[in-house]
Structure 1
Amino acid sequence: MSFNADFKREMRNVVKDVEKEINKTWKVDYKGHSIEIINQIKEEQLIIDGMTVDRKQRKSVLSHMIPYSKLSGILELHDGTKHKVSVKLGGYVRFRCIVKVDHETVLDDSMKIEFLPWDHKEKIVLFIQQQIQTHHKIVADRLPDEEFLFDENEPRLAPGLSDYYVDERPAPFYVKKLLKLFEKQLNHPTNETRKKTYEKIISNNMASRRSELIERFQHEQWDESLVQQEALWLLEHAAHREVVKFAVTILGCTNCEKHKELLFTIGMHEEFTSYVVCALKNGTIQGNEQVWRLAKSVDGWGKISAVEQLEASTPEIKRWLLTKGCENTIMNEYLAYTCALSGDLEAALSEDEISKELYDGACLIIQALLEDEVSIHSIEEYPNASSVLCHFIHHAHKHCQAIEEFYPILKINEFLNDDQEIWEDRLNDSWTQDDHKAIQKAVQPFIDDSRWPKLAIDTLQQDFSSQALKIALFYRLDVIEILFALLEKDPANSEIYFAVMDTNHHQHIRELCTFAETHLSLSNLSDDEVACLQYIVQDLYEHEGVGLPLIQAALRSDDGNLQYHALSVLNEWSPLYSQQAATRELIEHISIKTDDKEDRKLAKHLLKK
């Protein structure tokens, strides 16, 4: 995000804090009559007996530089006598509300204006606790501080992902200063010292400073009970996620056995799982068991961090790693290598007989290791690959019955049939020529089995399956009519759009664009429809003039990636299309309104063509 955008967001947050701090209502009962004063950031009101009798409006926050505001009105008593009500509101350090009826003061109230960063905001740990108590899991993963961190249309990262984007910019004195402030908080726990620590925490991110924080903390000789007291205070009051991360990290540097259930609950939200894993391992007695328990309770980036830190110390953990450890909602490829090694997949598959559960787990792991385009660690890095694949094919004779069980065998076949030059590089201590030929021979009967192409078509006719589609394409089956029939039933299934576009067949693509133009809500795209449009637009470069209404819809959308691809496609096409009145108007709008420099540059270039 640009400096200007950051500054605007920070100013917006400051205004919100000021607004929440000074919004207040006072009520006075005077001889059976109601006097109510409402103070808001841009307005003050005097209400007598339910009727607004005076109001002062401010044009901006800066108008609060005027220290006091005055309101007045007339109060008529039951005996018919009239009395003047006057109100004086304001102040810099203390905010006062003075109400007089004639010359009698009936209210004189004041409050200190502190602007504590945790005040008037939803508390994060309580937000998590309430979800766990009600649902036994996290059902709403957007944290309460998101409105302060992101702009309205800014895309959110999946919980826990931001910690993988570590800030590499040096901050040589940040941790040292933070711990000095925390020490003052320990010795004198007041709003003032806590505020300074809190503000220092949220000025940076814990992901990039965690290792240094732990290392420096371990050299301090602080009273552990005081450390825990203030860490727990921060957890109770934290309205910003970085404060939760700091407090969990500090708590984990102490003996936190009695707080492990609180930590576990916080770790159920995947934004904090990796911090809780570290705390449980370092600060509790059976930390690894708690990490395993947590790994079984999360399924995204939290599970990835938990499994990576989990020690396969028992046969039960090893089996879980092989049967359940790899699968997650992000990508199985992130954990396949870890689970294969830590769970000892080679030893498990070397048995004469294995359970269906273990076979299914091995399917996921092997398939993920073979997805070479996205795998973090591929099959080539796995030291026991030839032995594992050989054992796996042996067990497939008993367990391979369905499409999803055959798919890993298809991937093995593709791997074995890579170019000869690639295999010359692979042949080493773990792969011999004899291994290669033996596994090829073992796989071939599965490939030759005529039931798989038929089952692939039958599966696709029922519902879309990416695995069934790949199997059908492997056997060179024509599935285009089936794909369009599936689209009729599910017009916003982005995977089907991708499959049709992947054919790179001009007529199929033209028909797909016509379908999308009549079945997608081009004037108000849903998230699913944006994904569909993305797959179409990004591959229209070589199909000049096809899908112009879709290009225009992409230009109108709020999705920056979609806009960029639409502009890029128009840049490859003849100027005839970008100079059409409707298209040109959309390009002009982007050239003026977008914050993205590349989009703005591309839009201006198109306008000059």
Structure 2
Amino acid sequence: MGFKADFKREMRNVVKDVEKEINKTWKIDYKGHSIEIINQIKEEQLIVDGITVDRKKRRSLLSHIIPYSKLSGILKLQDGTKHKVSVKLGGYVRFRCIVKVDHEMVLDESIKLDFLPWNHKEKIIPFIQQQIRTNHKIVDDRLPDEYYLYDENELRLAPGLSDYYVDERPTLFYVKRLLKVFEKQLNHPTNETRKKTYEKIISDNMASRSSELIERFQQTQWDESLVQQEALWLLEHAAHREVVKFAVLILGCTNCEKYKELLFTLGMHEEFTSYVVFALKNGTIQGNEQVWRLSKSVDGWGKISAVKQLEASTPEIKRWLLTKGCENTIMNEYLAYTCALNGDLETALSEDEISKELYDGASLIIQALLEDEVTIHRIEEYPNASSVLCRFIHHAHKHCQAIEDFYPMMKISEFLNDDQEIWEDRLNDSWTQEDYKDIQEAVQPFINDSRWSQLAIDTLKQGFSSQALKIALFYRLDVIDLLFALLEKDPANSEIYFAVMDTNHHQHIRELCTFAETHLSLSNLSDDEVSCLQYIVQDLYEHEGVGLPLIQAALRSDDGNLQYHALSVLKEWSPSYSQQAATRELIEMLFLKTKDKEDRKLAKQLLKK
């Protein structure tokens, strides 16, 4: 996001904080009559006996440079006498409300405006604790501070992912200055010192500063009890996630054994798992056992960070790494190498017989290591990979019964059939010709077995299966009729749309577009239908004129990616399509309402054609 957008969001947040601080209401009972004064950021009201008798509106924040606002009205008592109610509101450091009836002072109240950054906001720790108490897990991974981090309709990052996209450029003296203000907080814990620490924390991110923070903190000689007291205070009051991260890191630099359950609870939210892992390992007894326990309680970026820090110190942990450690909701490729290496996959597969659970776990790891679209850690990097593959194929004679059991056999065969140039590099590196030959001879009987191609077809007749589809395509089977039959049963299954578009067959794509035009709710797309349309539209560049109603639906949608691809496709097509009345009208509307510079640029180019 650019500087302008960041600045705009920061200003919005400032206005929101000021608004919450100065929104005040005073109620006075005067001789049986109600006088109510309401102060808000853009207006003040005087209400007498339920009727608004005066109101002052402010057009902008700049109007607040006028320090005081005055309101007045008439109060009629039961004896018929009328009295003037005068109100004076305002102030910078202290906000004062003075109310007089005629010349009689009936209220003079002064409130200090602290603008404490944790005030008037939902606190993060109670939010997490309530979910764990109620559900024993995190069911809503949104955090209360998201309003301050994301603009409306901006894509939200999965918990824990933001730490992988931090700015690695050093902020000079940030950590040194942060610890300096924290030291003042330790020695004089007041709202003023705590506010300075809090504001310093949220001015940057902890992910890129954590190593330096830990290193510098460990060089201090501060009173541990005071450190824990203030770290806990920050946790209790934290309404911003970076404050939680700082407090957990600081707590983890102390002996925090008695706080391990609190830490564990926080670690179940994957935004904080990696920080809690540090605290558990560094500051508690048997911290590795707690990290293992936490690894089993998370399944996204938190699991990835926890498993990478987990020491395979017992046979039980090693077995868990091989059977359950790799699988996660982000991508199994992130943990496959770690689990294979730390779980000692080679030794586990060297047994004469293994359990089906271990076979399934090894299957998942091997598939991830063989994945050719991800380059985190490939099978070539794993020591003795050829031995592992041979032993796995050996155990497949017993355990390979279902379509999902055969899938890794297919992946191994595809690996062996890589381009000759790739294999030349492998043979010059860590593999031998004998390795290649041994695996080829071991896997080929499975590949030659005709039951797997038939099982793939039978599986697809029952319902869509990505593995069955890949196996069918591996055997070069024509499955297009099956895919369209599956679409009839499940017309909003985006995976099927992707599979048909991936054929890049013009006639199949034309038929798919016709199907989508009649089966998707183009005027009111659901989330699933948006995904379906995305797969179609993004691949229509080379199919001029095909799916124009889908292009128009994409332009009408509120999805930024769809709109961009629709405009991009029209740019590649001949101008006659974008100049059609209905299409041109949609482009004009998008040009006027979009906030995306690239979309506006594309729309402008199309309108000029």
TM-score under structure 2 normalisation? Answer: 0.96
Most deviating of 216-225 and 24-33: 24-33
Per the alignment, residue 532 of structure 2 pairs with: 532
Per the alignment, residue 481 of structure 2 pairs with: 481
The separation in 2 between residues aligned to 1:527 and 1:455, in whole angstroms, is 32
CA contact (8 A) 2:260 2:284 kept: yes
Per the alignment, residue 38 of structure 2 pairs with: 38
Residue 343 (structure 1) shift: 0.2
Deviations 1:94-122 (A, max 9, x none): 11112222322222211111111111011
Residue 375 (structure 1) shift: 4.4
Secondary structure at the aligned position of 1:335 is classed as helix
The answer to whether residue 204 in structure 2 is matched with residue 210 in structure 1 is: no
CA contact (8 A) 2:34 2:49 kept: yes
Residue 72 (structure 1) shift: 2.5
Residue 589 (structure 1) shift: 4.4
In structure 2, what residue type is equivalent to 1:48?
A: V
Residue 367 (structure 1) shift: 0.8
Residue 313 (structure 1) shift: 0.4
Residue 592 (structure 1) shift: 5.2
The answer to whether residue 169 in structure 2 is matched with residue 160 in structure 1 is: no
Residue 587 (structure 1) shift: 3.4
The separation in 2 between residues aligned to 1:324 and 1:428, in whole angstroms, is 34
Per the alignment, residue 500 of structure 2 pairs with: 500
Per the alignment, residue 427 of structure 1 pairs with: 427
The separation in 2 between residues aligned to 1:204 and 1:163, in whole angstroms, is 12
Secondary structure at the aligned position of 1:156 is classed as coil
Residue 368 (structure 1) shift: 0.8
Residue 2 (structure 1) shift: 1.4
Residue 436 (structure 1) shift: 1.8
Secondary structure at the aligned position of 1:270 is classed as coil
The gaps in structure 1 that reach 5 residues or longer are none
Per the alignment, residue 22 of structure 2 pairs with: 22
Residue 300 (structure 1) shift: 0.2
Q: How does 1:448-597 map to 2 (within 5 A)?
A: 448-591=448-591, 593-597=593-597
Most deviating of 10-19 and 92-101: 92-101
Per the alignment, residue 118 of structure 1 pairs with: 118
The separation in 2 between residues aligned to 1:445 and 1:169, in whole angstroms, is 54
Residue 38 (structure 1) shift: 1.5
Per the alignment, residue 105 of structure 2 pairs with: 105
Secondary structure at the aligned position of 1:105 is classed as strand
Residue 607 (structure 1) shift: 3.3
Q: How does 1:241-390 map to 2 (within 5 A)?
A: 241-390=241-390
The separation in 2 between residues aligned to 1:460 and 1:181, in whole angstroms, is 63
CA contact (8 A) 1:249 1:279 kept: yes
Secondary structure at the aligned position of 2:178 is classed as helix
CA contact (8 A) 2:324 2:361 kept: yes
Residue 388 (structure 1) shift: 0.9
Most deviating of 568-577 and 428-437: 428-437
In structure 1, what residue type is equivalent to 2:314?
A: T
The separation in 1 between residues aligned to 2:77 and 2:605, in whole angstroms, is 73
The separation in 1 between residues aligned to 2:439 and 2:5, in whole angstroms, is 57
Q: How does 1:135-146 map to 2 (within 5 A)?
A: 135-146=135-146
The gaps in structure 2 that reach 5 residues or longer are none
Per the alignment, residue 220 of structure 1 pairs with: 220
Deviations 1:227-248 (A, max 9, x none): 1111111111111111111111
Residue 430 (structure 1) shift: 4.9
Most deviating of 155-164 and 186-195: 186-195
The separation in 2 between residues aligned to 1:104 and 1:462, in whole angstroms, is 85
Most deviating of 8-17 and 514-523: 514-523
The answer to whether residue 83 in structure 2 is matched with residue 83 in structure 1 is: yes
In structure 2, what residue type is equivalent to 1:93?
A: V
CA contact (8 A) 1:369 1:375 kept: no
Deviations 1:344-370 (A, max 9, x none): 011111111111111111111111111
CA contact (8 A) 1:124 1:143 kept: yes
Most deviating of 292-301 and 87-96: 87-96
Secondary structure at the aligned position of 2:467 is classed as helix
The separation in 1 between residues aligned to 2:119 and 2:61, in whole angstroms, is 20
In structure 1, what residue type is equivalent to 2:431?
A: W
Residue 385 (structure 1) shift: 1.1
CA contact (8 A) 1:334 1:375 kept: no
Most deviating of 308-317 and 428-437: 428-437
Residue 440 (structure 1) shift: 1.6
In structure 1, what residue type is equivalent to 2:148?
A: F
The separation in 2 between residues aligned to 1:207 and 1:522, in whole angstroms, is 42
Residue 429 (structure 1) shift: 7.3
Per the alignment, residue 187 of structure 1 pairs with: 187
In structure 2, what residue type is equivalent to 1:151?
A: D
Q: Give the number of equivalent residue pairs.
A: 609
Most deviating of 460-469 and 55-64: 55-64
The separation in 2 between residues aligned to 1:43 and 1:601, in whole angstroms, is 40
CA contact (8 A) 1:541 1:569 kept: yes
Residue 3 (structure 1) shift: 1.3
In structure 1, what residue type is equivalent to 2:506?
A: H
The separation in 2 between residues aligned to 1:357 and 1:134, in whole angstroms, is 32
Most deviating of 69-78 and 331-340: 69-78
Most deviating of 182-191 and 301-310: 182-191
Most deviating of 358-367 and 31-40: 31-40
The separation in 1 between residues aligned to 2:343 and 2:193, in whole angstroms, is 48
The structure-2 alpha-carbon separation of the partners of 1:2 and 1:558, relative to structure 1 and needing over 3 Å to count, comes to farther
CA contact (8 A) 1:254 1:283 kept: yes
In structure 1, what residue type is equivalent to 2:426?
A: R
The separation in 2 between residues aligned to 1:507 and 1:526, in whole angstroms, is 27
In structure 2, what residue type is equivalent to 1:599?
A: D
Residue 73 (structure 1) shift: 2.7
The separation in 2 between residues aligned to 1:201 and 1:578, in whole angstroms, is 50
Deviations 1:402-453 (A, max 9, x none): 1111111111111122233322322267533223222222212222222222
Most deviating of 164-173 and 466-475: 164-173
CA contact (8 A) 1:407 1:471 kept: yes
CA contact (8 A) 1:307 1:335 kept: yes
Per the alignment, residue 405 of structure 2 pairs with: 405
In structure 1, what residue type is equivalent to 2:334?
A: Y
Per the alignment, residue 147 of structure 1 pairs with: 147
The answer to whether residue 6 in structure 2 is matched with residue 6 in structure 1 is: yes
Residue 593 (structure 1) shift: 4.8
- Percent sequence identity is 89
Secondary structure at the aligned position of 1:54 is classed as strand
TM-score under structure 1 normalisation? Answer: 0.96
In structure 2, what residue type is equivalent to 1:232?
A: L
Deviations 1:438-490 (A, max 9, x none): 22222122222222222212221222110011111122222212212222222
In structure 2, what residue type is equivalent to 1:123?
A: K
CA contact (8 A) 2:380 2:430 kept: no
In structure 2, what residue type is equivalent to 1:130?
A: Q
The separation in 1 between residues aligned to 2:526 and 2:231, in whole angstroms, is 42
Residue 501 (structure 1) shift: 0.1
In structure 1, what residue type is equivalent to 2:276?
A: V
Secondary structure at the aligned position of 2:92 is classed as coil
Deviations 1:137-167 (A, max 9, x none): 1111111111111100111110000101120
CA contact (8 A) 1:161 1:301 kept: yes
Residue 278 (structure 1) shift: 1.0
Secondary structure at the aligned position of 1:44 is classed as strand
Secondary structure at the aligned position of 2:16 is classed as helix
The separation in 2 between residues aligned to 1:375 and 1:367, in whole angstroms, is 13
The separation in 1 between residues aligned to 2:597 and 2:27, in whole angstroms, is 53
The separation in 1 between residues aligned to 2:343 and 2:301, in whole angstroms, is 20
In structure 1, what residue type is equivalent to 2:371?
A: E
- Runs (4+) of structure 1 exceeding 6 A deviation are none
